Amino acid sequence: MRYEAGTYDIIVVGAGHAGCEAGLAAARMGKKTLLLTISLDSVALLACNPSIGGTGKGHLVREVDALGGQMGLIIDETFIQSKMLNTAKGPAVHSLRAQADKWDYQQAMKQVLENQENLDLKQAEVVDLVTDDQKVTGVVTRTGGLYRSKAVVLATGVYLKSKVFMGEVNYESGPSGLFPAQFLSEKLANMNIILRRFKTGTPARVDARTVDFSKMERQDGDEVMTPFSFQHETLDIEQIPCWLSRTTAATKEIIEANIHRSAMYSGEIKSTGVRYCPSIEDKVVKFSDKPTHQFFLEPEGKSTTEMYVQGMSTSLPEEVQLIMYRSMLGLENVRIMRPGYAIEYDCIDPTQLQLSLEMKRWENLFCAGQFNGSSGYEEAAAQGLMAGINAVLKTEGKEPFILDRSEAYIGVLIDDLVTKGTNEPYRMMTSRAEYRLVLRQDNADRRLTEKAWALGLASQERYHAMKDKVEKVETELKRLQNTVLPPEGINPLLEEKGTSTVKTGLSLMDALKRPELHYKDLQSVDPNPVEDLPPSVITQCEVQIKYKGYIDKQMKTVEQFRKMEHRMLPRDIDYHLISGLRIEARQKLTQNQPISLGQASRISGVSPADISVLLVYLEQQRRQKEGAEEKGRGE
């Protein structure tokens, strides 16, 4: 029996990292929003590693924050260790990563959801979608509740028909022993939505009291911590160390002797796993020449003895896991509190989506997160935020909010999924972004906060804070350029830093262009240093000065890219009628329905020659239109 349970503007299904951001965005944009989750205990669950950020992923978190999302604020409040990665390389690949207190993170996010105006948080399993013609108009829960809405966002994570594997043992379950969602997949299949089967996994959690840390290398966080949120200038907390150790030759022997019992290698698991987060079985098989592999022990929180064994994801039987872990340095007497496992789940082929994350064939149905074939909390949060925004805009009859590849890592993420598709769980990396020198972590607010303000997701105060920061950067850049020191004023510093001296005056800006010098080095020679300049402003100044030539060069490439992105393709175009297009290109273009020439060029199977044909076609259409207009004026 169904009963009328309520009417909302937006319904979000799933309260993981995608669902949380989608629900908050919709509510903050003034829409009556319902956020449904299979369990209130799964809200913002860090089901795998207890960390936020990392290479490429840190960029996404800062962009989510710049757009008014919540993830950056919550991790700043609940982290136990923070570290900037890749600092030996250029600023384009610097990536912030923070270890979270996973329990505090969950509770903090849940509290934000509970206190958010316009948002109702409710425990219920969605088993059906309500449709009218080709539109989605609501959802039905397992208890018969019929909730009607103007738009629905599916953010189901890894719960759809999820199945856990440990060796020969497998059973239906969500992550961390939570219930799976067993019924929605069938409804989606009946709607002719193409589903796929992907896999992820997690290592064991071990008891810190049974670890010999004296055999491990201590890993501390950064002395000066960088916040994820642009609303925080500095952070000051007492950090907790992580630990580095290695497997042994005995570990390798144990895995090789039991590889046939791993669900990955026994044939039990047939789905596709994450390429860039391999299991320890994969490492031993694919890198058989390596006698050992490193792993990290990461605390799961301040008030628990559970530790996460990063780098040791596995689907070996539980009894083999214990033997394997006890063969590793420092874990000789370890006790496992939760065994590792692999988990399979249903997700969609993301090429069925528009760049707005709305289904092409089903109006008002938006999709986000691991349901779209991605992996990771950060990728999920970014998609959830965009899906929530676009669901709201759709209900208001407005154009969707789309970020292109030159504007944000979020644009790269969504374009990759929607345009190129993925045959494995998609993970964001800095190498995926062609314009990463202009899409740095440090300038995400400058790139995106004005857009968030226009959407109603950034306050007037936050918008003005960003503008004030930009003004401080510009003012300081001018000051550095106009402050010229005589040779006797700058040469002692140049000699000290091992760089060539000068015979004429040198501006502080030109001095800072030298790789040997940093902004803090100039304080000893600067005649009028600016006191209390925020660290974020100093970072912006230094990056813009040191990499100006490279940035200017990349901006020219961005301009060329945007010309292609702005060549829009008609929505009613029939590619089968365009002579000169190859058969494969006609099929792929008809299937994907790209909105621009740029997007068409990134579809697999569409060649540069096909793009040239489309260019000719667009020019012909333009001339015909102009001719018709002139004829009409003449009459």
Same domain, 493 and 539: yes
Q: Quick check: 218 pLDDT over 90? A: yes
Range list of β-strands (E), 488-597: 506-507
Q: Is residue 184 part of a domain?
A: yes
Give the separation between CA 445 and CA 466, rounded to whole angstroms: 7
- In three-state secondary structure terms, 159 is coil
What percent of the chain shows pLDDT beyond 70?
99
Q: Considering 454, 473, 503, which residue would you say is the last residue of a domain?
A: 454
Cβ proximity of 286 and 278 under 8 Å: yes
Q: Is residue 496 part of a domain?
A: yes
Q: Which residue has the tokens 């002797």?
A: 257
- In three-state secondary structure terms, 428 is coil
Q: Quick check: 394 pLDDT over 90? A: yes
Cβ proximity of 216 and 243 under 8 Å: yes
Give the separation between CA 96 and CA 84, rounded to whole angstroms: 4
Neighbours of 575 (CB within 10 A): 20
Q: Is residue 50 part of a domain?
A: yes
Q: Is residue 126 part of a domain?
A: yes
> Could you tell me which of 348, 405, 351, 414 has the C-alpha nearest to residue 387?
414
What are 115-157's pLDDT values in tens digits? 999 999 999 999 999 999 999 999 999 999 999 999 999 999 9
Q: Is residue 559 part of a domain?
A: no
Cβ proximity of 21 and 384 under 8 Å: yes
Same domain, 215 and 318: yes
- In three-state secondary structure terms, 364 is coil
Q: What is the mean pLDDT of residues 336-345?
A: 97
- Amino acid, res. 611: I
Q: Is residue 562 part of a domain?
A: no
Same domain, 150 and 278: no
Q: Is residue 291 part of a domain?
A: yes
With helix as H, strand as E and coil as C, how does 233-286 read? CCCCCCCCCEEEEECCHHHHHHHHHHHHHCCCCCCCCCCECCCCCCCHHHHHHH
Domain of 537, in residue numbers: 460-552
What are 264-280's pLDDT values in tens digits? 888 888 777 777 788 99
Same domain, 487 and 514: yes
Residue 426 CB-density burial (10 A; 0-12 exposed, 13-18 middle, 19+ buried): buried
Same domain, 25 and 171: yes
User: With the C-alpha atoms ordered 4, 6, 7, 10, is the resulting torsion angle positive or negative?
Assistant: negative
Q: Which residue has the tokens 């989605």?
A: 136
Same domain, 334 and 348: no
Give the pLDDT confidence score for residue 634 in this predicted structure.
67
- Predicted TM-score of the model (pTM): 0.94
- In three-state secondary structure terms, 242 is strand
Same domain, 18 and 91: yes
Give the separation between CA 14 and CA 122, rounded to whole angstroms: 10
Residue bearing the bigger pLDDT, 88 or 227: 227
Q: What is the mean pLDDT of residues 365-378?
A: 97
The CATH number given to whatever domain includes residue 575 is: 1.10.150.570
Q: Is residue 24 part of a domain?
A: yes
Q: What is the mean pLDDT of residues 183-195?
A: 97
Cβ proximity of 461 and 431 under 8 Å: no
Same domain, 17 and 106: yes
The CATH number given to whatever domain includes residue 530 is: 1.10.10.1800
Give the pLDDT confidence score for residue 625 in this predicted structure.
78
pLDDT band with cut points at 50, 70 and 90 for residue 447: very high
> Could you tell me which of 252, 564, 216, 619 has the C-alpha nearest to residue 419?
564
- In three-state secondary structure terms, 562 is helix
pLDDT band with cut points at 50, 70 and 90 for residue 574: very high
Give the separation between CA 184 and CA 161, rounded to whole angstroms: 8
Q: Quick check: 584 pLDDT over 90? A: yes
What are 450-497's pLDDT values in tens digits? 999 999 999 999 999 999 999 999 999 999 999 999 999 999 999 999
Same domain, 219 and 329: yes
The CATH number given to whatever domain includes residue 373 is: 3.50.50.60
Q: Quick check: 12 pLDDT over 90? A: yes
pLDDT band with cut points at 50, 70 and 90 for residue 635: low
Residue 123 CB-density burial (10 A; 0-12 exposed, 13-18 middle, 19+ buried): middle
Same domain, 401 and 473: no
What are 267-325's pLDDT values in tens digits? 888 777 777 788 999 999 999 999 999 999 999 999 999 999 999 999 999 999 999 99
Maximum distance among all alpha carbons in the chain? 93
Give the pLDDT confidence score for residue 627 in this predicted structure.
74
Q: Considering 552, 586, 608, which residue would you say is the last residue of a domain?
A: 552
Angle CA 630–632–635, to nearest 5? 110
Same domain, 295 and 378: no
What are 401-434's pLDDT values in tens digits? 999 999 999 999 999 999 999 999 999 999 999 9
17: which residues sit within 8 A by CB, 6+ positions away? Answer: 44, 71, 369, 377, 378, 380, 381, 384
Same domain, 129 and 272: no
With helix as H, strand as E and coil as C, how does 72-106 read? HHHHHHHEEEEEEECCCCCHHHCEEEEEECHHHHH
> Could you tell me which of 158, 161, 164 has the C-alpha nearest to residue 177?
164
The CATH number given to whatever domain includes residue 323 is: 2.40.30.260
538: which residues sit within 8 A by CB, 6+ positions away? Answer: 519
Q: How many domains does the chain have?
A: 4
**Per-chain mean pLDDT for the chain:** 95
Angle CA 180–295–202, to nearest 5? 5
Q: Considering 454, 473, 488, which residue would you say is the last residue of a domain?
A: 454
Helices 377-395 and 57-66: angle between axes, nearest 10 degrees: 30
Q: What is the mean pLDDT of residues 261-266?
A: 87
